[in-house]
Amino acid sequence: AQKITQTQPGMFVQEKEAVTLDCTYDTSDQSYGLFWYKQPSSGEMIFLIYQGSYDEQNATEGRYSLNFQKARKSANLVISASQLGDSAMYFCAMREARGFKTIFGAGTRLFVKA
């Protein structure tokens, strides 16, 4: 069965520093996609970054990068040069290639300090 685990309920980071949000997953499929979404206090879900299971390079999108370690089944999000606007809930998610549903982890609330 698919499962996403985010073990950090809350994280603090100093403005302009980098932060890593942890995510591990479990699936028996060989083909799947991993996602990170940001949910600010306003409630909307904002797509940040995607990593395919067959992608050899780690995904990067601006200040976001995904540290993908397939053998360890981990897909950690790295945010470089944190900004106050990065304070939000962050969800790791996975979708198997043969399915339609995306399953989400419990989320990590990130607080960026000035």
Partner 1 sequence: EPEVTQTPSHQVTQMGQEVILRCVPISNHLYFYWYRQILGQKVEFLVSFYNNEISEKSEIFDDQFSVERPDGSNFTLKIRSTKLEDSAMYFCASSDPSPGTGGKEQYFGPGTRLTVT
- 93 vs 13, 100, 109, CA distance in Å? 22, 13, 15
> Which among 102, 89, 110 has a CA at the least distance from the CA of 34?
102
Report which secondary-structure segment, H or E, holds 91.
strand 88-96
Tell which one of 33, 64, 67, 73 touches partner 1 (CB under 8 A): 33
Shortest Cβ 42–partner 1 spacing (Å): 8
Contact status: 44 vs partner 1 (CB under 8 A): yes
Shortest Cβ 32–partner 1 spacing (Å): 11
Give the residues lining the site for partner 1 (CB under 8 A): 33, 35, 37, 43-47, 50, 52, 91, 93, 99-107
